[in-house]
Amino acid sequence: MNSTVLGVFILYFIVIILIAYLTSRNSVTHSDFLLGGKKLPGWALAFSERATGESAWLLLGFTGFVFTTGLSGIWVAVGIAVGIIFAWVFLASRFMKEAEKEKVLTLSDYLASKFGQNGNIIRWLSTLLIAGFFMFYIGAQFAGAGKLFFTSFDMNLTTGIVLTTLLVILTAFFGGFISVVWTDMIQSIMMLLTLVVLPIIAFIYIGSNDLSLSESLIQAGPNFDSLFGGATGFAIGVLFFNNFSWFFGYLGGQPQLSARFMALKNEKEARQAKIVGTVWTILAYAGAFAIGLAAIVMYEQESFADVETVLPTMILDLTPAWFGGILLAGIMAAIITTANSQLLVVTSSVSEDIIHKSLGIKLTDKQLVLASRITIILSGLLGMMIALTSESLVYLIVSWAWAGIGCTLSPAILMTFFWKRYSSIGVIATIISGFVFTVLWISTPLDSIITSRFTTFFIAAFFGIVFSLLFPDKNKAEKTER
């Protein structure tokens, strides 16, 4: 274990916990705890949204994916980048205005408020969908942290997962959304540093050692040097849509991301946030793709028992210990920002959507904040147990959760925003069909042919449209006018 790298990690942990504590010292209302109370600047929310959206999946999963696929992995980056930019340009301001208009704190409550005829059913269904899938998503982040500690310090996986759980719970516990956004901002910068600086260092190393990317792609395996993985005809379309399909989950259906849009104060802050979010996305995904390609040049395909350890291995091989510690902390930042934001989503689902709205239990602001904090602890521990007992890859777990939540709720949000005939029964049909078909699809070999991220979006949209036409809301006109 390198003591210098470990020292940098310990310092990082202390700084993050200190920031979380300091930003929580003012009196925090329930609205502040869950959505920031419209107190946060747009640029900070944009950094937070990007850090939250790009978890261990980007730094560990995607870099490993490119390492094992070659140039065709670019379509994942393209699909995600287009989805993120689309969301910031076309949806962020709409979320801000709708949240203010409906006086809501969560995505589930927004859908319930817009479709009051069956609002409580919608709130329950969307809450259970989000909480259920997110617990596995959180577990995937903790599992990614365990891999990082194992690779960096030869530390037991269990110890790494437990330490990460403790840090995530603490950062979310102190000040809720406000603490998470400010710690996210610092960690977002660290992530970007890792993704921009490391590929530069890697390609300097490749050039100084007279290594060739084109030759390495050919030697790595068949079709590594092809943008379409050697596919022809219809297979090109399948490959493209399977990789590009991450796009569909960014269209408003990820509650941890939409919360940042809802928290924006005004149009000026929204415009500022759009620029930050767009620039961050382009730099980060270009860097992650370049890291995967550099790894193909530097390592044999059989070099890793787990390809999701490519990035930390490269950092340790190419950088001095003190700087490597900073870059490795960038990976930990990606894990923590996503996990604590998802903990807050689960927390808001319990305290706001279930206790406060669905069950109608009358609690004071302090009692609601206490309920939220208790939920953070319990959810964090449950996520830890999932990480300790699951052997699934980070990439796969996140992919399934992306389909189950993002590609189910995205069509619901888009139709709520842009289609006046969308009905409460249509929303229910969207959520149920999205959940059922995701579970069925990933349980069969079909998912390896056409990903559930693609099929879920269109199946959920189809059922939403059909059931809205068959069962229109009688009071839709009045609700729209209101």
Position with higher pLDDT, 88 vs 357: 88
371-390 pLDDT tens trace: 888 888 888 898 888 888 76
Burial 267-284 (b: 16+ CB within 10 A, else e): eebbebbbebbbebbeeb
The alpha-carbon radius of gyration of the chain (Å, integer) is 22
Domains of the chain: residue spans and CATH: 3-394 (1.20.1730.10)
Provide the whole-model pTM: 0.81
Where are the strands (E) in 168-290, listed by range?
none
DSSP string, 38-54: G-S-HHHHHHHHHHHHS
The answer to whether 111 touches 416, Cβ cutoff 8 Å, is yes
- The pLDDT value recorded for residue 479 is 46
Mean pLDDT of 416-443: 92
Query: Is pLDDT at 13 greater than 90 in this prediction?
Result: no
451-469 pLDDT tens trace: 888 889 999 999 999 999 9
The length of the chain is: 482
- Using alpha carbons, list the distances in angstroms from residue 98 to 15, 29, 93, 344: 36, 21, 9, 20
- The pLDDT value recorded for residue 173 is 79
- Contacts with 166 (C-beta within 8 Å, 6 or more apart), sequence order: none
Handedness of CA 373, 127, 129, 260 (dihedral sign): negative
Alpha helices by DSSP H, listed for 154-176, are: 157-175
The answer to whether 368 touches 138, Cβ cutoff 8 Å, is no
Closest CA to 241 of 30, 392, 72: 72
For residues 441 and 439, give the distance between their C-alpha atoms in angstroms, rounded to a whole number.
6
- The pLDDT value recorded for residue 477 is 47
Tokens of 289: 């793709």
